[in-house]
Structure 1
């Protein structure tokens, strides 16, 4: 029997990309299912391109049942200059994404529900689908659209969470289980209303400081199931704040409470304790299913093996993504990143190079990034390095690029095909902010990390990989966030955060040395074990396939 579902995706590539994969994975498994994937109008061509890239040869029937519709302009008016001053804006007046954009998403859903022909926000004409959708899957940031749509049409609403289970508990669980959302908005308002507590601070500072350190946990220690204990301030490791971080609670908490179930991009063999931790609070008042559907990556990437070749085994070439030029064209030539890694492999062998990449907007302090390259260029035994500089928020030290070029030891590129980089035999380590997408891609290829988290779920991801899975090192001395006095780890007394140039460079040298030694080999072996567990979960009859079939009953 024909079925129809809607997926609301978010504009950030770390969200949109796995949501494109989710659409393909669902359409591939359920041959009578139509998927309407709603993407930001400015990035709809990217979403369409990603869907086409990951659909395999001979799967035109699958592609015909995935409709990538354009709605809204979430980044309209957002410039690098605005981003610089965004931290001082009152987040209550700077909703993220803008309400105009989520209203546009609602409007396209209204048009779908009429079952008639219509045009999307890019002027593309779509035929009506007789079978009206019964299930709505929403990205966390589309809460402002998802919650009223559920009320209007009675959808079965599932929230798609892009990260590990423990990060979901840390952000949205009750205080008793280590969560942050409970009472956060009310506490910010109470502080603002009390002159003795506000001390003349604007609301932007109150929201930021309460987010970073609320003092609501016994001994300032957070205990969230699936992670080792940590101090509260460790989840704000960098001096980074955007109004959207306030809305990640103020708007999305309503979706957490309203949704009928949760979809996770994990496998239970890796994230069972964290998933059990969610059940303790998420399912406490009513039965709400939680399905672990595995990393949302192309099947060809999950099945791929490293190859000493300039060609990636992933279906299709990766899309070039730019948040300043969304319609940037790709080239058919060998990517300079891959050519650099080919040369490193020929000269230094397998696992010899290090890849450095941070988020679309969440990046560390430029001065500290410069310290890393200083250390890499000083190594007696070369470690060729590749740095993807895609983020418009990067502010690198003056003269750094020229210094790197002169050294002959590294390459800066405006964008890199990350999945192909992870598959390349020369790539040995990745320095990463530990965004959910890069984390999934690294684990799926057995790639160990050097974690440098900035904000959001990244600190939890970094601790999970470094302390639970033991597939990563984490840099601690680079922390610049509020109240970074100490890290919980590092013995009975923890680790003092000194944060000087000398301390930062000393830690970087130490980590790179350990990465090349026995400890690094052990972490690489653990990463390969994680890769195998992910692979096994996707096999016929495996845990991921079981959960897809269970979710299929929800769709039916």
Structure 2
């Protein structure tokens, strides 16, 4: 009998849920696939409650279940991963079949000087980020040195030194930290794998060299040139971050567009220049010689041209691991809904009522994610919701973004509308999989896109920036499972009013509402049925990749990347 040696990997995530959630799911899926793997996740304190909540959700019930050979033992406590793991006789311990949670430890990285706030704000989050960057190296050194005590935290995997590390690309300090730590403890470098919560085309667009069409390197050059001339750094970042110039920009595997079309509503999101400063060093991290590979949580089979271009551009192993969900989700086994708060209860009650009133697949879910919102043009939300009302289209609207500010008169108008449900936060996965939901108006972020595909929902797309333009182009123009809302686009300059396909963006209330009405009519008719079927076909491709295609092979290879 072959005995597989225990292995251990460390994950350094970003404290933004849109980044952390897919990385958390990826890590747990690796544990599920590789029974020899053990995992340490280093998280900042602000995100710990949400991580704990996610792990205790019904979707992850399987991580607490021991294998059938141990079915007679009592099921582990859901907080077991927070406790010290006491070993029994070593030979007996090796025979024990562990639950996945027994191979997981979550460590909150915080210094003694950092005072936890009663409420988190942008200021306290910025302080936490700096404290995290200062504290993580100490924990990494302790883990790699096989220490038992990690700054008063027990390392239950002391006897299993880390074999590899996965880090979010926006934690760009990690490669330099690892060089310093490994030199200090006199050990050979372990493989470092960068994680990008995006698809291959957007990753290429971000990280390709400027001469090949990448835009981050152009931003870096322009900012550095301005600063060298004596310009204030914040002014330089404000001008050049995601700036567009009306140039034609081709992205591998996607239709050609003007550069401003890739960030079509960036002008509506008032983000300070400080928000962009941490993004630029990620180019150096991805291209660092000690970073041996890069992970994208999308399926290679649905964007082969972009994957090939990305592999050629970076010269590294690209792990196209596919959207990260538990196996039960792929099998269509959605856990029983359970309201966690008053808003959840309102949403569930509303959807049940709409299913009885209008039937299955009759309601549209409107959500632009937890970060982006057209704060500089709030009337766009009013146009969308009013048009839904005029079209007698029942809807759930969740405005989770901190930038969201809904006019009181609009809220009052919607609160008395029988076919409308407006909440700050909604349990998105439960909503998308409710029988009453038939459509999704989305910003096409990575997580929302993956969930829409799995739920087989046609999409109306309102992308803002980051990778949302690439996801929208892939869904609307390649696979035709989404409709890109064009009149609602808001570019940075008035002269940018023409799309590469010849569409003129008028942007008036009349033009926007006409397009919305036409779109709502289309998706509720024959075209909507065709889009739903195409989405089922797309899901089938992605699922096939997960079960026995490139996604499965890359998940297997990732768990053995240190061999």
Give yes or no for TM over 0.5.
Answer: yes
Classify the secondary structure of the residue corresponding to 1:34. Answer: strand
**Contact 2:143–2:155 (Cα < 8 Å) also in 1:** no
1:376 aligns with 2:388: yes
Which string of whole-angstrom CA distances, capped at 9 and with x for unpartnered residues, describes residues 75-134 of structure 1? 988999869xxxxxxxxxx989833322222222222223223356xx754435212112
**Alpha-carbon spacing, 1:17–1:39, altered in 2? closer, same or farther (3 Å):** same
1:327 alignment partner in structure 2: none
What's the offset of the Cα at 1:226? 2.1
What's the offset of the Cα at 1:212? 3.2
1:223 alignment partner in structure 2: 250
2:529 alignment partner in structure 1: 521
Which string of whole-angstrom CA distances, capped at 9 and with x for unpartnered residues, describes residues 392-425 of structure 1? 2101123111101222120012221111111112
Query: 432, 435, 447: which is aligned to 1:422?
Result: 432
User: 1 CA distance for matches of 2:38 and 2:429?
Assistant: 28
1:156 alignment partner in structure 2: 191
What's the offset of the Cα at 1:356? 0.9
1:12 alignment partner in structure 2: 16
2:203 alignment partner in structure 1: 168
**Contact 2:371–2:400 (Cα < 8 Å) also in 1:** no
1:261 alignment partner in structure 2: 293
User: 1 CA distance for matches of 2:516 and 2:244?
Assistant: 31
2:334 alignment partner in structure 1: 314
What's the offset of the Cα at 1:282? 0.9
Query: 271, 275, 292: which is aligned to 2:303?
Result: 271
What's the offset of the Cα at 1:214? 5.0
Query: 208, 213, 222: which is aligned to 2:238?
Result: 208
**Contact 1:5–1:36 (Cα < 8 Å) also in 2:** yes
User: 2 CA distance for matches of 1:63 and 1:133?
Assistant: 17
Classify the secondary structure of the residue corresponding to 1:155. Answer: coil
**Alpha-carbon spacing, 1:194–1:351, altered in 2? closer, same or farther (3 Å):** same
Which string of whole-angstrom CA distances, capped at 9 and with x for unpartnered residues, describes residues 324-353 of structure 1? xxxxxx359973212211111111112110
Query: 113, 117, 134: which is aligned to 2:148?
Result: 117
What's the offset of the Cα at 1:553? 2.7
What's the offset of the Cα at 1:210? 2.1
**Alpha-carbon spacing, 1:171–1:333, altered in 2? closer, same or farther (3 Å):** closer
User: 2 CA distance for matches of 1:535 and 1:551?
Assistant: 19
Q: TM-score, normalised by structure 2?
A: 0.83
**Alpha-carbon spacing, 1:334–1:488, altered in 2? closer, same or farther (3 Å):** closer
User: 2 CA distance for matches of 1:177 and 1:385?
Assistant: 43
**Contact 1:95–1:247 (Cα < 8 Å) also in 2:** no
2:73 alignment partner in structure 1: none
1:535 alignment partner in structure 2: 543
Which segment is superposed worse, 177-186 or 272-281? 177-186
What's the offset of the Cα at 1:386? 0.3
What's the offset of the Cα at 1:249? 3.9
Q: TM-score, normalised by structure 1?
A: 0.84
Root mean square deviation of aligned Cα: 2.9
What's the offset of the Cα at 1:193? 4.8
Classify the secondary structure of the residue corresponding to 1:141. Answer: coil
User: 2 CA distance for matches of 1:544 and 1:452?
Assistant: 28
- Work out the number of aligned pairs and report it: 510
Aligned pairs for 1:14-29 within 5 A: 14-29=18-33
**Contact 2:498–2:505 (Cα < 8 Å) also in 1:** no
Aligned pairs for 1:206-355 within 5 A: 206-213=236-243, 215=245, 220-238=247-265, 239=267, 240=269, 241-243=271-273, 245-247=275-277, 249-258=279-288, 259-283=291-315, 288-304=316-332, 313-315=333-335, 330-331=340-341, 335-355=345-365
**Contact 1:24–1:51 (Cα < 8 Å) also in 2:** no
User: 2 CA distance for matches of 1:75 and 1:521?
Assistant: 54
**Contact 1:39–1:47 (Cα < 8 Å) also in 2:** no
User: 1 CA distance for matches of 2:198 and 2:253?
Assistant: 13
What's the offset of the Cα at 1:374? 0.8
What's the offset of the Cα at 1:454? 1.7
What are structure 2's unaligned runs of at least 5 residues? 67-97, 183-188
Query: 534, 541, 555: which is aligned to 1:548?
Result: 555
**Contact 1:230–1:487 (Cα < 8 Å) also in 2:** no
User: 2 CA distance for matches of 1:77 and 1:228?
Assistant: 47
What's the offset of the Cα at 1:245? 4.8
**Contact 2:167–2:194 (Cα < 8 Å) also in 1:** yes
Which string of whole-angstrom CA distances, capped at 9 and with x for unpartnered residues, describes residues 528-552 of structure 1? 111111221222x333222222223
Classify the secondary structure of the residue corresponding to 2:144. Answer: helix
Q: Which protein has the larger Cα radius of gyration, Structure 1 or Structure 2?
A: 2
